[in-house]
Amino acid sequence: MQKEKMLKGELYTIDSELKQEMQDAQELVKQYNQLSIHQNEEQEAMIRQLFGRVGENPEVTAPIYCDYGKQVSIGDHFYSNYGCSFVDVAPITIGNHVFLGPHVHLLTPSHPISADIRNTGVEYAKPITIGDSVWIGGNVTVNPGVTIGSRSIIGSGSVVTKDIPEDVIAVGNPCRVLRAITDEDNHYWEDAYSDYMNK
């Protein structure tokens, strides 16, 4: 009952079912964080057990943190650096070729503004969606309900409180669009890559 409310974004409280699911996930997280960096097959197997959906070639650098795990979906060629948090009370949906810098926090839960209601222990959550080929710099916090458009870049230290469109560079607290990613940018990096491949 409470889990259904949680996943619908309604007010809910943590009951015995949710508490058990969270404890099971925390045990998996603890085991994952204790694996050797050379245990690549074990790491991938455990991430597939922890997260709801995992695409091809995931690279999730320990330590990681999450609440339930099962509400996290990552696409192909996903990379997250040290210390990332996936607080997945609501779904966290991540596309293909997404890079997360160190200590990125994806936070879906929220609490009532009214202190009296907040003090009762109820909470709610809103999903986070990240498109394809997004790069999120280190120490970024993404707040509940945010969508980040494909191919966009979020600068280090940003706090993302509102949706970010596709094909932009955005930074700051609160995070705002700095500028569009242009054809000029793409041509510059295509030439740089061509030089790199020919050396």
For 18-72, the pLDDT digits (tens) are 999 999 999 999 999 999 989 999 999 999 999 999 999 999 999 999 999 999 9
Q: Of the candidates 104, 122, 105, which has an alpha carbon nearest to the alpha carbon of residue 113?
A: 122
Question: H-type helices in the chain, by residue range?
Answer: 2-8, 16-33, 40-50, 115-118, 183-198
Helices first, then strands: H and E counts in the chain: 5, 19
Task: Mention every residue, 6+ apart, whose C-beta is less than 8 A from residue 34.
Answer: none
CATH architecture of the domain with range 2-198: 3 Solenoid (2.160)
Phi and psi torsions of 185, nearest 5°: -60, -50
The answer to whether 43 and 28 have CB atoms below 8 angstroms apart is: no
Q: What is the DSSP letter of 123?
A: B
Tokens standing for 62? Answer: 């320990």
Binning pLDDT at 50, 70 and 90, where does residue 199 land? Answer: confident
Predicted confidence at residue 1, as pLDDT, reads 87
Instruction: Report how far residue 68's alpha carbon sits from residue 51's, in angstroms, rounded to the nearest whole number.
Output: 8
Q: Catalytic positions, please?
A: 111
| pLDDT > 70 in the chain, percent | 100
Entry pTM? 0.95
| pLDDT > 90 in the chain, percent | 97
Predicted confidence at residue 49, as pLDDT, reads 97
